[in-house]
């Protein structure tokens, strides 16, 4: 889905092969309360990231869209509310690029950390360099992007951090030890930061999706394995990127003013105790 499709007047939510549901934009925008907000979205080019970006811009937010591969972002029609930042969120040079990008208008209301890397490897096959790369992208990026924008949030007297974790940590993934460990770190980081920043009016929360059907996960896991996971959900269908977006936008919105340090699992009722 592109920004031009969102401008058509309705949002279509991917279903389970049945008729799509439509939600008129005039019902969405007032509820989100994101008009005029300035956001940084790290990990903007992936399937989930692009859906978040589409919804944010339609809600009237101004977005700094960060990714090391921005080719997918440049295929969208230009928008005066989007600034594409070609940067690696998982290193210090990328953090410096983001600081530069938010120096005008010197304001950040919300940071959404969506960067992640999920290769499938048995533990015995993981080298230290491969372990480090997964942790760098999936966990270090959260630390670095947070540090890059926190001074401006403090200057504004409030803010929202929404970090995308993973529901995989509740059960473990035998061939994803590095990824699950990194995403568990995101939750620990977020809960501790929520304690630290709450007195300053800044909230920190996590959205933890189950295995979401994207080209990347299909490539790593295959259709049969994903279908087996989907069959075990209380709502027995695949998780689509749009399913995750609603939770992210809710926690970024004024409706979540008094919610912090929480993990919102989005997996169709596969995991009910966290």
Contact between 39 and 59 (Cβ < 8 Å)? no
Which among 140, 154, 270 has a CA at the least distance from the CA of 201? 154
Contact between 81 and 58 (Cβ < 8 Å)? no
Is residue 23 annotated as a catalytic residue, yes or no? no
Q: Of the residues 23, 117, 128, 179, which is catalytic?
A: 179
What percentage of the chain's residues is helix, strand, coil (to nearest 5)? 45, 20, 35
Distance of CA 119 to the CA centre of its chain: 18
With tokens 């949002």, the residue in question is 11
User: CB-based burial of residue 153 (10 Å sphere; 0-12 exposed, 13-18 middle, 19+ buried)?
Assistant: buried
User: CB-based burial of residue 184 (10 Å sphere; 0-12 exposed, 13-18 middle, 19+ buried)?
Assistant: middle
Quick check: helix, strand or coil at residue 188? helix
**Residues tagged active-site:** 179
């Amino acid at each position: 889905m592109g920004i031009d499709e969102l401008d058509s007047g309705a949002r279509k939510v991917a279903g389970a092969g049945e008729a799509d549901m439509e939600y008129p934009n005039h019902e969405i925008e007032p509820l989100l309360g994101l008009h005029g907000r300035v956001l940084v979205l790290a990990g903007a080019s992936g399937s989930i990231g692009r859906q978040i970006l589409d919804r944010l811009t339609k809600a009237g937010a101004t977005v700094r869209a960060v990714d090391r591969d921005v080719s997918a972002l440049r295929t969208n029609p230009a928008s005066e509310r989007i600034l594409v930042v070609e940067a690696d969120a998982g290193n210090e040079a990328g953090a410096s690029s983001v600081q530069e990008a938010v120096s005008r208008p010197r304001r950040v209301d919300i940071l959404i950390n969506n960067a992640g890397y999920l290769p499938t490897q048995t533990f015995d096959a993981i080298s230290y360099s491969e372990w480090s790369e997964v942790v760098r992208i999936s966990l270090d990026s959260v630390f670095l992007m947070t540090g890059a924008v926190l001074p401006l949030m403090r200057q504004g007297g409030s803010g929202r951090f929404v970090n995308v974790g993973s529901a995989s940590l509740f059960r473990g993934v035998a061939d994803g030890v590095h990824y699950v460990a990194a995403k568990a770190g995101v939750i620990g980081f977020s809960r501790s930061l929520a304690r630290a920043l709450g007195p300053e009016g800044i909230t920190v929360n996590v959205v933890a999706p189950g295995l979401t059907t994207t080209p990347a996960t299909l490539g790593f896991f295959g259709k049969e394995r994903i279908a087996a996971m989907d069959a075990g959900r209380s709502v027995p269908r695949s998780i689509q990127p749009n399913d995750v977006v609603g939770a992210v936008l809710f926690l970024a919105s004024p409706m979540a003013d008094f919610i912090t340090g929480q993990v919102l699992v989005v997996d169709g009722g596969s995991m009910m105790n966290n």
